[in-house]
Structure 1
């Protein structure tokens, strides 16, 4: 007890004891109380009296290994309503004391506790120090001569005299029963989201904690990765945020997500916790549906399962921290329902990819040949405000980034205000090559509303250069397809869509293309006998083919002067180069294999020199 308060208390007490006569026997009682887990508990001290009481002293012991005292007060008691003028409370190791004088200040109006039974004179508040696994009963005992200095006895003052146990004051102890807490539980509340590929739905995580205030928690929830994408785990709008968490870490995975939270993590360590309660909202998991579901197809329900030792690195368990102890709550799964949406109005949009190489070979190409990949559209009914094109292509093809062109396109004619493309040619990540193209016609003020016009004929949107790699397999189609849910060089998953009346339309026809690598005629100019060198034997072979019917394998190789005709002039041309310093045979020349750069009517070479 504070020294100054103690001196005042003793002085006032002396006046009371010397002034009033002794009255009849009285009793003090502590009510029995109980609690569960670490929930706070309250015990009431009551007075039975046959006459007025001017003051009292309480000295009460308890088992500090089981109970932690938090408050000793007269607030809310009958004494408060009478108007005590001096109240001195002290919490000690293993005990507590309370001294009260009703009339301690001038003008000494004589207020006192009136006679009666069950008059409340003190409130004792505790929290359990342990979480019990079975019922534990402990006593709250009136103890004379144990607590404070000088030590205090339990007494009441009646008629100016103190009445204690030796004077017949009955001291009736109370008990505290600490029961095991009901199981803490962590459950996922069912949520729903429109299955439109864009909307996000919330699933709240609800905690029922009776073990005690929660200092921190870990949550690990799994979901079906094919059906849902976990977009975010947030504390916004939760009790956790309202209490004031100081540390959080989240991790998102393809099939689940984890969050760890500590409420009081930083100085000055003010002890904030999530209070005991039922269905406390402590976190929110936010999901989107991976696919679009149109009516009349049914809604898709995907379980959201809190699960231990399955998600995270390292694998995490669902736990709460109470009183510095890690507890495992019971777990209850929820679900996220992807709600089918009304189908969009039918649109007749057709998006087409086309490939073209020089020399009018269509989609046939040689190794190393570069062609033009074009994108076209037709739609006889709608004005299109924007286009997203997402393309996947074989890894033996290379789209030349930076070569995208609007030349000759309807987009160039209309005047698009936003155009962007990106190419991901890196196949080392296990994906195919990817290209993303975005066109928005009216993106800048004054917003004049330009669109792609309705058309029954295909109109060009734009084109980009594409090259056949040397690794491409001959006579195998290298696919170029419209494909959804790719990210190019970024992290956002994109898909093919057109914008009509400010709505995203994905349900339209898309026609891809392919490139077929074919053998390319290659030869040495002048190598008429196909022995991979040019010498006098080749002139002899040319003459023999003309006058003796000797078969040849490559007519273009025998056409030494590249005039598109095989005759005696080719033999003479070759010998002039060999022996008279004449002009060398034209490309591909007499030294290296190569394609014929000039068109002629000579048959294709029947040799192994084809590049395949």
Structure 2
């Protein structure tokens, strides 16, 4: 092989390698888990090997399980917000009710004016955060998918990234949100992991309005009758000191509410998280 042929081969290889490197981009959705009527924040992670001037994407979800309530529930990550002297991207458009399905679409141009402020190369950088409300009737145990898509919107919003002057279709890893149910210890009002005399006294203060309600009203419902009254404290005292009936559905460990047809709820029970 002549020197000229070898040189040509080296140049062609270098050109192809450069163009291959310019095609490396990825999106990944990280979901989470939560229970009905709570909000879970999913993140969209970006990875690129070149500076990024813009992107667009769609994320679909199941409308029977999840909802994005308002535009305020779609946030920019720290790297996006830092653009243009911390004023964020020049063009950032979100649609939470796109045509073609249920989900959201996002379109972003980092900077409209030269010299352009571009996103740097990044690895698993959380650029977009989405707050999903889990609907009241979401079945426990459901794994609800969050799917990157190019089918939402009219015209459809393509899931693409612009790395400098190259439009790239990224690799895509969709995510999900698992629907769980709150765990708590019935009778453990102060959430210290055990049921004691203090819990009964604390309940007296709460039902009298001398102390604010707790974060898990199901735990306060010691006799599990669906209402909070002085009777719950009396039930506990009788159980502890006079051989009364045990606390319903409780073995002293974290458990779900076995009678979840009452109006009480459990927003948070730290020791069982």
Q: TM-score, normalised by structure 2?
A: 0.64
Moved beyond 4 Å, runs of 4+? 521-526, 533-537
Higher relative contact order (CA 8 A, sep 6+): 2
The answer (yes or no) to whether the contact 1:528–1:555 under 8 Å persists in 2 is: no
Match of 1:505 in 2: 168
Counterparts of 1:530 and 1:352 in 2: how far apart (Å)? Answer: 43
What is the correspondence of 1:294-333 to structure 2 with a 5 Å cutoff?
Answer: none
Task: Name the CA shift for 1:365/1:425 in 2 (closer, same or farther; >3 Å).
Answer: farther
Provide the secondary structure at the position in 2 that maps to 1:486: coil
Match of 1:378 in 2: 47
**Structure 1 position 437, deviation (Å):** 0.6
Counterparts of 1:534 and 1:385 in 2: how far apart (Å)? Answer: 57
**Structure having the higher Rg:** 1
**Structure 1 position 473, deviation (Å):** 2.2
Task: Name the CA shift for 1:539/1:515 in 2 (closer, same or farther; >3 Å).
Answer: same
Of residues 178, 188, 192, the one that matches 1:516 is 178
Q: TM-score, normalised by structure 1?
A: 0.31
Counterparts of 2:142 and 2:135 in 1: how far apart (Å)? Answer: 13
Counterparts of 2:245 and 2:61 in 1: how far apart (Å)? Answer: 47
Query: Are 2:158 and 1:495 aligned?
Result: yes
Match of 1:581 in 2: none
Counterparts of 1:459 and 1:413 in 2: how far apart (Å)? Answer: 13
Match of 1:483 in 2: 149
Provide the secondary structure at the position in 2 that maps to 1:462: strand
Provide the secondary structure at the position in 1 that maps to 2:107: strand
Match of 1:528 in 2: 222
In structure 1, stretches of 5+ residues that fail to align are 1-343, 356-362, 559-590, 605-612
Of residues 124, 127, 132, the one that matches 1:466 is 132
**Structure 1 position 433, deviation (Å):** 0.8
Of residues 36, 47, 58, the one that matches 1:367 is 36
Task: Name the CA shift for 1:527/1:469 in 2 (closer, same or farther; >3 Å).
Answer: closer
What is the correspondence of 1:132-531 to structure 2 with a 5 Å cutoff?
Answer: 345=20, 347-355=23-31, 363-379=32-48, 381-396=49-64, 397-403=66-72, 404-406=74-76, 408-415=77-84, 416-424=89-97, 432-443=101-112, 445=113, 447-456=114-123, 458-487=124-153, 491-506=154-169, 508-521=170-183, 523-524=217-218, 526-531=220-225
Which has the larger strand fraction?
1
In structure 2, stretches of 5+ residues that fail to align are 1-18, 184-215, 253-261
Provide the secondary structure at the position in 2 that maps to 1:411: helix
Report the aligned-residue RMSD. 3.1
**Structure 1 position 555, deviation (Å):** 5.9
Counterparts of 2:269 and 2:230 in 1: how far apart (Å)? Answer: 25
Equivalenced residues, count: 206
**Structure 1 position 366, deviation (Å):** 1.5
